[in-house]
Structure 1
Amino acid sequence: MAPFQIMLCPNLSKFSLHTLLTSVVILLVYRKRIEDSDSEYINIDANIQKRFPTTIIIGAQKCGTTALLNFLSYHPSVACNTYKEAHYFDNYDNNRDYSYRSYLRYVPFSRPDQITIEKTPKYFRLQNIPLLMYNYQKFIQKKLKFILIVRNPIKRAISHVYHTERHKRIKVENLSAILTEPANFFVKGSHYGQFLQNWMKVFNRNQFLIINGDSFGKENPVSVLRNVENFLEIPSYFKAENFFLNRMKGFYCYRYKYSCILSAAKGHKTFAQNLTPDAEKIIATSLKKDVQLFEKLSNQTFNWF
């Protein structure tokens, strides 16, 4: 008899009910301890363990990192958490002797044939992260791989503004005024060239896969995902028919029983305000040199403006 049927049985004794509830509590506590464990060696069996991430999606914020990770999560050779960003390195305290074992609290169990991927898009813009990652790379004694997805820097900044408003941190009364304010946080977050230069002081260019988020958001993502598969050196899995366009949201979804597999909060086709032509010109001018630097360092052309 199934557990829910037992619980509904009117003749169930108090002793049996107490035993059942105690067993459920023990099971839940044990499961919680397993999920929160920072030990690489607490495992379900000899092959399924928590393993250190060797691939990290470092950014950029508001460029499609969530969609990318959601799609990759369906690949049988990938292990990742799609519901929670780790934020391990941006909360790393150099004044304490943290063990990297605690990093394992943020990753799922995996098989030996899987690659563990972590995503925290804030990493890309923070100056101290590359050196912390370099030390981590030495610790695990494996060469890290980084995935960076970028989009038109002005559109990224606009998206970041409205993301911040949705989280009730600001009130957008005049979008153009916010984004033309000198040295504002949102436009600075689109300084891809400056950020990549900081990373390339520590890591080689061949450790980065840089994805054009503009095409990734508008076109069937299968070609991008195949590039990711090649970069990670994992078998080809995705096919064009795995995806379909959600016309209400304006982005592609992973097809699962005719449902759109991606957070309902993701994908914003329009915003309440547009930039004025003058504001857009001011921002584009301020970003021009950084875009040129980014194209030089990445050895890619984006034709943003």
Structure 2
Amino acid sequence: KPDGGGEILCYLLRWTVRLCVTLVSLACVVTLYIHSDVVYFIKGAPIRDVSLTSPAQSIYKENSDPQAKDKDMMNNSPELDSIRNSLPAHINNKTLWESGRDPSHIQLQGKKKRLPQAIIFGVKKCGTHALTDMISLHPQVVHAKRYEMHFFEKNTITGRDKKYQMGLEWYREKMPPSYENQITMEKTPAYFISHDAPERIFEMNSSIKLILIVRDPTTRVVSDYLHTKDMHEKMNLKPFEEEILQPNGEVDKWNFVVKPSLYAEHMARWFQVFRHDQILIVDGDKLVSDPLTQITRIEKFLNIEHYVKQENLYWNPEKGFYCMRSQKREWCLSKTKGRPHPEMNPEAMSKLRKFFAPLNDKFYKMVGHNFSWPIA
């Protein structure tokens, strides 16, 4: 015990030094703890106290705990919202709260780029873009960012297949990262009319699932013609009737806007390579009028859980067709989609319908389903 002024000063200095040493030691311990988590994160090791459920469990049960929702409301900020929105579906808000951790520490494990397990392979101007957007609402479906890959078919003008020669690893790198229980998908309508695509796709994945969307072949021809005329002015298309009819007045089946509507002819080529149960045919007209039934069929075909509901597909009276709603945003197709067709030459339209009638009947028998298109 100090009893003099000098001793009291020394006593205070000793305790001050001890306190400083203690604080420095505590700071070192905290720094090492934080650093260990950073190393865990960088090296991809599991982060403590973060329990990951399967995507199916969290996707369909994430709203079942109201208390977790209330807690999450307390944990909101623009920065955290941005991080949450970038996380996969199976790392949900309840997991983030209960872990007590900053979500930026969560390592996204198990993701890698995979070759497609499903392909939308046609038909052009039948609703492939809308179909892709709608099925992509499902968290178990991931789609190539580039809507049309054109990997398996040769260029119809030059006959070259530059992309295919790049190899499957190049193709794989163009796919998005996915988890093991997700379906990687791409869409290229040009595959349908390609002579090379069926066998090339089979060589890549003999058990792949293929999705084809079709509509009235006459209506499809008109849509293809108008789309090409609007998007490719340099082609200087002739008037509709001159474009699709030969000089003798018969339909030119090899014209570039008519050829994709030869459904039976192209379908026969695919059935020579793939089993019938590997190909799902979607009614494009029903996708417009009742999209949910068609998306539900695709969910069953892909063997994924039923997720897309009516609230995800809502009617937009201004657009005149269904739009999409996810947990993050709402969107519609571009103004070039679903636009009304002007009146076309009646004689040319009549000849088209007559030309396609027997081909429609052949297609019905081939796929075992009757559509609403004329057959006589």
TM-score range, shorter chain: 0.7 to 0.9
TM-superposed deviation, 1:74? 1.7
Residues in 2 aligned to 1:96 and 1:189: alpha-carbon distance in whole angstroms: 22
TM-superposed deviation, 1:83? 4.3
Match of 2:297 in 1: 227
- Residue 299 (1) aligns with residue 362 (2): no
TM-superposed deviation, 1:98? 4.6
263 and 49 in structure 1: CA distance in 2 versus 1, 3 angstrom threshold: same
SS, match of residue 257 in structure 2: helix
Cα distance per residue 1:95-144 (max 9 Å; x no partner): 98653111113210101110101110110011121111121125xxxx11
Residues in 2 aligned to 1:228 and 1:61: alpha-carbon distance in whole angstroms: 19
- Residue 252 (1) aligns with residue 322 (2): yes
Contact 2:152 2:164 in 1 (8 A): no
Match of 1:176 in 2: 241
Match of 1:218 among 284, 289, 297: 289
Ranked by relative contact order (alpha carbons within 8 Å, sequence separation 6 or more), the top structure is: 1
The ranges of structure 1 where at least 4 consecutive aligned residues each deviate by more than 6 angstroms after the TM superposition are 94-97
SS, match of residue 252 in structure 1: strand
Cα distance per residue 1:54-90 (max 9 Å; x no partner): 1000000011111111111121111112543111112
Cα distance per residue 1:243-291 (max 9 Å; x no partner): 12223332211125897523324423323x3223322221112112221
257 and 199 in structure 1: CA distance in 2 versus 1, 3 angstrom threshold: closer
Contact 1:192 1:294 in 2 (8 A): yes
Residues in 1 aligned to 2:163 and 2:293: alpha-carbon distance in whole angstroms: 44
Within 5 Å, which residues of 2 pair with 1:200-219? 200-219=271-290
Residues in 1 aligned to 2:279 and 2:135: alpha-carbon distance in whole angstroms: 17
Letter in 1 for 2:365: K
Tell me the TM-score normalised to structure 2 length.
0.63
- Residue 121 (1) aligns with residue 189 (2): yes
Contact 2:147 2:188 in 1 (8 A): no
Match of 2:218 in 1: 154
Match of 1:34 in 2: none
Letter in 1 for 2:244: L
Residues in 2 aligned to 1:161 and 1:73: alpha-carbon distance in whole angstroms: 28
Mean Cα deviation higher: 153-162 or 243-252: 243-252
Match of 1:267 among 314, 324, 337: 337
265 and 96 in structure 1: CA distance in 2 versus 1, 3 angstrom threshold: closer
Percent identity of the aligned residues? 31
Letter in 2 for 1:55: A
Letter in 1 for 2:215: R
Contact 1:66 1:82 in 2 (8 A): no
Cα distance per residue 1:128-182 (max 9 Å; x no partner): 21111121125xxxx1100000011111111111111122244456323323342
Equivalent pairs, count: 256
Match of 2:358 among 270, 275, 289: 289
94 and 85 in structure 1: CA distance in 2 versus 1, 3 angstrom threshold: closer
Q: Runs of 5+ in structure 2 lacking a partner?
A: 1-106, 155-159, 247-251
Letter in 2 for 1:64: G
SS, match of residue 245 in structure 1: strand
